Structure 1
Amino acid sequence: MGEVDPDFIQSLEHRPKPRTIEPENIPLIDLSPLKSSSDANDLASLASEIGDACEKWGFFQVINHGVPLKCREKIESASRKFFALPREEKRKVSRDEVNPYGYYDTEHTKNVRDWKEVMDFTVQTPTTLPVSHEPDDRRLIELINQWPKDPPELREACEEHAKEMEKLAFKLLELIALSLGLKRDRLHGFFEDQTSRIRLNYYPPCPVPHLTLGVGRHKDAGVLTVLAQDDVGGLEVKRKSDGEWIFVNPIQNAYIINVGDIIQVWSNEKYESVEHRAMVNSEKARFSIPFFFNPAHYTWVEPLQELIHDQNQPKYKGYNWGKFLTTRNLGNFKKLAVENIQIAHFKT
């Protein structure tokens, strides 16, 4: 991140210190029944375990997930090489108002409070999104990734990782569908033209870790997030039972899963998208790689009809995912004439 601006440090002194209770792991779920047994009872038990984690936490970790360790090692290695490049080299592939995929660092904005650098890329190339957030504007744009020349292995590592994340996400999606009493493939059709993306996160060592955040408190807008984090750790989850912030202990080669806003709407709030944040470290750099599993831009997001009945009326009005996402993307670069959009705006 370069030299630390004294004015920036001074401004952080007025920020309340984050409070976190003693480390506690979110539910840990073994996915080995998916590959070791076709027994219907085993599958039902696994789906029930995941449904319980979604309902009580909104977060869980998975092991024996089938993602090759070599794949993870390749993308982590290439990511470290990329973020070690001079800033002027990384900024050659900067994202902008037109294309949200590429490099970004928080030094772009003087008032920023997050402490990180990121590199975003889309899973499906090209990815189609609405041009505008305006409801009557039907124009679409096809977006492609911006790949740096160095390191040369970054693109291949990212594309290989994306394929593995997509396979894992579909497995989890099927288990969540089963946990809701739906057909196993009920949710597949929403992803034919998916808008999923992957972010490479780099959090440099921070001189005032108790006064700033790697990422501020937020909820994920999409369907599922599959996160790989290194052994430094930093992810914290807001526990539903009492609102306390829980530090998530890193588990070697595990992936952290959280349900997003779309699952919250689809399930009519049986499962909830939970707030989380990322802390920084004073001595060590931290790396994490979230995969954001998102549906096609034309997806109409609303509570699933199979779950609606007299005692469970819809809690949300429907909304267009592409317009929702475009509003969020544009909000990163300029103030729109609308409030920062949230699913709460669609509550019935």
Structure 2
Amino acid sequence: MEEAPTYAPSLPVPNVQEMVKMNPLEVPTKYVRNEEEMEKVNYMPQLSSEIPFIDFTLLSNGSIEELLKLEVACKDWGFFQIVNHGVQKELIQRMKDAVDEFFKLPIEEKETYAMLSNDIQGYGQAYVVSEEQTLDWGDALILFIYPDQYRNLRFWPKTPHGFKEIIEAYSSEMKRVGEELLSSLSIIMGLEKHALVGLHKEFIQALRVNYYPPCNTPEQVLGMSSHSDTGTITLLMQDDDVSGLEIRNKGNWVPINPILLDAIVVNIGDVIEILSNGKFKSVEHRAVTNKNKRRTSNASFLLPQDDVEVEPFHHMIDAQHPKMYQKVKFGDYLRHSLKRKMEGKTHTDVARIKEQVIEK
């Protein structure tokens, strides 16, 4: 049986949840960021209500209005929320409850699923590449879901009871929604409906369960550093009552507040930005923390296979829109990103065509 490829090592770091449990008032200097990194002056919560909501049922039925809303969302925001997606509320709640139960387990039990030194599957933190970097205020469980043969069940928690089956059912629904969204993205990119799904050959789908403990000085830390997602699209389920996700829009940080229960937050990744020659944007985002409440989220990532070559579609290139990205093999691009700390969109430099001096 083919096993999941390895991606990148990450240095072991302290468990944040356990650290807070032992001393809730202390914030070690390894986690403290300066004012410039926090960029609080550019905080624009009033723009949150402008982030588009899209009716998934109408979109799937080919509604021109919803397709136009999707196009605007991908051009202007890189993020949107979908409703009427058909994922049962009961399944969403079971997933949230199981995640809560997992993070309540004793640290000794959670660490039986700890990441190995050479990869990112399991329990821990990814993107830790140097002893000097500032750390994120959060813990994660990362699993590969599809293709089935990529699953490494030693990292799949056995408690709470039935967690494996809940993850499978939830991830199957995220795959359904994600593939349908890619069909709609194909249409607004001027392609045949199934072009993007076909490009991926066979989807890789990963799940990242995030846990952000409360922080005594939330204005000094980040739950997750600013970054854009390297993959194709990401589907995120947030807590219903705790804000934390912020996206960069025109230089400002805008929170995506959980306004409608069970809405799925979707963002496009670097793959779509490259394929669209920059027309659609993979946007920087980050997670902030809360002084009194813990926050969890479940992110499902859809990615191409390692050997898929990604470059702008020819019809996206013209005199007004010269080619911005060179051809990259996705597996190489992903590993390049994983081997460095999360730092905005700096990892995309490897795919960008360097500006050429035009001689007069």
Q: TM-score range by the shorter chain?
A: 0.7 to 0.9
State whether residues 190 and 296 of structure 1, in contact with CA within 8 Å, keep that contact through their aligned partners in structure 2: no
Match of 2:190 among 177, 181, 184: 181
SS in 2 for 1:271: coil
3-state SS of 1:120 partner: strand
Calculate the TM-score normalised by the size of structure 2.
Answer: 0.82
Distance 1:262 1:330 in 2: 18
Which AA in structure 2 matches 1:344? D
CA gap of 1:274–1:11, structure 2 versus 1, over 3 A, is: closer
> Residue 257 of structure 2 corresponds to which residue in structure 1?
249
- For 1:118, give the aligned amino acid: A
Q: CA-atom RMSD, angstroms?
A: 2.4
Q: Name the SS for the 1:167 alignment partner.
A: helix
Residue 79 of structure 1 corresponds to: 99
Could you tell me how far 1:210 is from its partner in structure 2?
Answer: 0.8
Q: From 245, 254, 275, give the equivalent of 1:235.
A: 245
Q: Equivalent of 1:98, from 111, 118, 121?
A: 118
How much does 1:7 deviate?
7.0
1:47 aligns with 2:59: no
Q: Is structure 2 residue 138 aligned with structure 1 residue 116?
A: yes
Question: Residue 152 in 1 paired to residue 161 in 2?
Answer: yes
Structure 2 match to 1:31 = 56
Classify the secondary structure of the residue corresponding to 1:343: helix
User: What is aligned with 1:209?
Assistant: 218
- Flag the structure with higher helix content: 2
Q: What is the TM-score with the length of structure 1 in the denominator? A: 0.84
- After TM superposition, give the deviation of residue 295 of structure 1 in Å: 0.9
Task: Spell out, residue by residue over 1:93-127, the C-alpha distance to the aligned partner (whole angstroms, 9 max, x if none).
Answer: 11123342110159x97854311110011121456
Extract unaligned runs of 5+ from structure 2: 1-16, 354-360
CA distance in 2, matches of 1:173, 1:10: 40
Give, as a single letter, the amino acid of the residue that structure 1 aligns with 2:249: R
Unpaired segments ≥5 residues, structure 1 = 128-141, 333-339
**Contact 2:147–2:204 (8 Å) recurs in 1:** no
Letter in 1 for 2:152: I
- Indicate conservation of the 8 Å contact 2:147/2:203, yes or no: no
Alignment partners' CA distance in 2, 1:110 and 1:102: 23
1:133 corresponds in structure 2 to none
Q: Write the deviation string for residues 132-189 of structure 1: whole angstroms up to 9, x where unpaired.
A: xxxxxxxxxx662411222122111111111000111111111111112211111111
Q: Secondary structure at the match of 2:218?
A: coil
| 1:234-268 C-alpha deviation (Å, 9 max, x unpaired) | 1111113xx11111111211011111111000000
What is the DSSP-based 3-state SS (H/G/I as helix, E as strand, rest coil) of the residue aligned with 1:196? strand
Q: Distance in 1 between matches of 2:266 and 2:176?
A: 14
| AA matched with 1:21 | M
Determine if contact 1:199/1:289 at 8 Å carries over to the other structure: yes
Secondary structure in 2 matching 1:76: helix
Mean Cα deviation higher: 284-293 or 26-35: 26-35
State the Cα deviation string for residues 199-240 of structure 1 (Å, max 9, x = none).
111111111111101111111111111111012121111113
Percent identity, aligned pairs only, is 30
1:320 is displaced (CA, Å) by: 0.8
- Name the structure 2 match of 1:344: 349
What is the alpha-carbon distance in structure 2 between the residues aligned to residue 174 and residue 10 of structure 1?
A: 43
Aligned to 2:357: none
Match of 1:276 in 2: 285
Amino acid of the residue matched to residue 89 of structure 1? E
| 2:175 corresponds to which of 145, 151, 166 | 166
CA contact (8 A) 1:100 1:329 kept: no
The secondary structure found in structure 1 opposite 2:220 is coil
**Contact persistence 2:27–2:217 (CA under 8 A):** no
Size of the alignment, in residue pairs? Answer: 319
Task: Give the match for residue 331 of structure 2.
Answer: 322
Q: Deviations over 1:37-81 (max 9, x none)?
A: x5x5x2x32211101111011111111111111221111111111
Counterpart CA distance in 1 for 2:257 and 2:31 is: 30
Partner of 2:8: none
Question: Within 2, Cα distance between the matches of 1:55 and 1:46?
Answer: 14
User: Aligned AA for 1:103?
Assistant: Y
Counterparts of 2:220 and 2:320, CA distance in 1: 46
CA gap of 1:298–1:283, structure 2 versus 1, over 3 A, is same
